[in-house]
Amino acid sequence: MNKSMPTSIIIFGASGDLTQRKLVPSFFNLFFKRKTPRQLNIIGFGNTPFTDDAFRQHLHEGMDQFANFKFTEEEWEIFSKNLYYHQGRYTDLADFKKLGERLSVIEGGAANRIFYMAIPPTIFPNIIDLLGLTGQLHEDGGWRRVIVEKPFGTDLASARSLNLQAHKVLDENQIYRIDHYLGKETVQNILFTRFANTIFEPIWNRNYIDHVQITVAEKVGVEHRAGYYDSVGVVRDMFQNHLLQLLTLVAMEPPSSFNATALRNEKVKALCAIQPMTPAQVAKNTVRAQYAGYRSEHEVKPDSVTPTFAAMRLFVNNWRWQGVPFYLRSGKNMLEKQSQIIIQFKEPPLAMFPMPPDKNMAPNMLVLYIQPDEGVHLRFEAKAPDTVAETRSVDMEFHYTEAFGPTAIPESYERLLLDAIQGDASLFTRADEVETAWGLIDPILQTWDSDRAMPLAVYAPNSWGPTEADSLLARDGGQWLNKETH
Ligand code: BG6
């Protein structure tokens, strides 16, 4: 990165939550870790009538409330000098011209620019059109990049159309589609566990693995986002992006090198190996559910059929994974916040040790804990002392806090923002990747919408979801594993 080149981050939708909660605390940390260019300008753009000072005050309050680290007033004084606000409408050419003029004054010469789209996908085409029309995407003297927040579309058709619109004025390598799960250390570590070691990869296939479970359980309900959430539901909110990303990292083939093109090629190949489901398969392999009481949440329609929980069984149809089920589940208002990937291995071919009739030997399991208590555990069987042949499951455990210290894991946005500044798109979703993911999700949502016979299950708040989700695994002889049960 050329640190001497001024770099401006223009945030559209800057008065929203994301800027306060995630973006500004992350930029603050990067700035004091001296990872950003020396002149970093952060310019908020939005309808809210903030002055620069009012914007700074608003962000200061956000830091007080949301930053998970301590900072001093002196540090804030220094950092906040980089913050500006420009009021404008997302549809007004004149406002965009003024933005361009303001940027030139702030930058004082050639500069790099990132346009950050923290706005709903419907507004995105307008903004890039106006940026194009006002010449702000021309790379004259500095590069131009666009970061796009999820959701990238609401289905395959809208994602395609967003891509088409974006490609009219931008090259694909200027577009950074964010999935903040990819910024999590534990998610990046999936690749390191697999490809920085030799012991896992030889058994990472259908010969040794019985099935894979991916759980992203949230304790929180829909909170203040109920209005938005009710129009998307859990599959658009969590599966199309976060859960499919986790699956892809587990299932993909080793790339030949650690760069954005090679990595993303392999991820797309893994997604392409999953066949979109027919309606009959949707009925058999998916469960949708809503927590009891959801319809009485503020801003939720009283007859809403929006699922707040889903579970599905997918197959990656290639030589490595043929016949190995990948079970995915995610929901709001569940018993605990718990995200993990369980690789369950097959049972030993021969039951050589005599077991009591009511017991089976537990299969080996590798658990990648995404959050909380980030780490990796390997469960295997050991002989119980003072018995002839009884076995007991034991764990080899790696905890990030023990190995790297309690504050070792940065906020996922820090990694992603820095990568975007450095021009590394490895942890961002490519156009074909996002479309392939929607291609898998669309048939599920369409069947749910059209097949009224497919029940919307109900689950108790603070539970692990509906019994229907348990049946999905029980049918194959398995069960969902939560942290306290393994
Ligand atoms: C977001 C979803 O993408 O991810 C939210 O829109 C969800 O509904 C959040 O709560 C979960 O993120 P994390 O990092 O807390 O697991």
User: What percent of the residues of the chain are helix, what percent strand, and what percent coil, each to the nearest 5?
Assistant: 40, 20, 40
> So what's the pLDDT on residue 103?
96
If residue 399 lies in a helix (H) or strand (E), which one and from where to where?
strand 391-399
Residue 220 Cα to ligand 1 midpoint, Å, equals 10
> So what's the pLDDT on residue 141?
86
> So what's the pLDDT on residue 53?
96
Residue 144 Cα to ligand 1 midpoint, Å, equals 28
Partners of 286 in the beta sheet? 312
**pLDDT < 50 regions, the chain:** 485-486
Beta-strand pair 144-148/112-117: parallel
The token pair at 454 is 């497919």
> So what's the pLDDT on residue 486?
44
Q: Which residues have CB under 8 Å from 458's CB, separation 6+?
A: 289, 290, 291, 292, 466
Cβ atoms 148, 175 nearer than 8 A: yes
Helix and strand numbers (H, E) in the chain are: 16, 15
What are the structural domains of the chain?
Answer: 7-149 (3.40.50.720), 182-485 (3.30.360.10)
Q: Which residues have CB under 8 Å from 450's CB, separation 6+?
A: 279
How many Cα neighbours within 13 Å face the side chain of 477?
A: 7
> So what's the pLDDT on residue 485?
46
Cβ atoms 168, 131 nearer than 8 A: no
Q: Which residues have CB under 8 Å from 402's CB, separation 6+?
A: none
Q: Each residue of 417-462: pLDDT tens digit?
A: 999 999 999 999 999 999 999 999 999 999 999 977 788 999 999 9
Q: Which residues are catalytic?
A: 242
Q: Each residue of 121-146: pLDDT tens digit?
A: 889 999 999 999 999 999 888 999 99
Instruction: Answer yes or no: is the C-beta of 237 below 6 A from any ligand 1 atom.
Output: yes
If residue 377 lies in a helix (H) or strand (E), which one and from where to where?
strand 375-383
The token pair at 83 is 């913050």
Atom of ligand 1 nearest to the CA of 222: 8
> So what's the pLDDT on residue 355?
76
Atom of ligand 1 nearest to the CA of 242: 3
Residue 234 to residue 153: CA distance in whole angstroms: 15
